[in-house]
Amino acid sequence: MLVALRGDLGAGKTTLVRSVLRALGVSGRIKSPTYPLLETYNVSSLYFYHFDFYRIKDPSELEDAGFREYFSGPGLCFVEWPERAGDWLPAPDVTLTLLVEDAGRTLLAASGSDLGRECLERMYNA
| Residue 108 dihedral angles phi and psi, to the nearest 5° | -105, 130
Does the domain formed by 2-91 have CATH 3.40.50.300? yes
pLDDT, residue 33, reads 85
pLDDT, residue 69, reads 87
Those residues whose C-beta lies under 8 Å from the C-beta of residue 52, and which sit 6 or more positions away, are 14, 32, 33, 34, 37, 38, 79, 80, 81
Q: Which residues in the chain show pLDDT less than 70?
A: none
- Rounded CA-CA distance 42/24 in Å is 10
Per domain, the residue ranges of the chain are 2-91
DSSP state, residue 115: H
pLDDT in tens, 62-75: 888 888 889 888 89
pLDDT, residue 123, reads 85
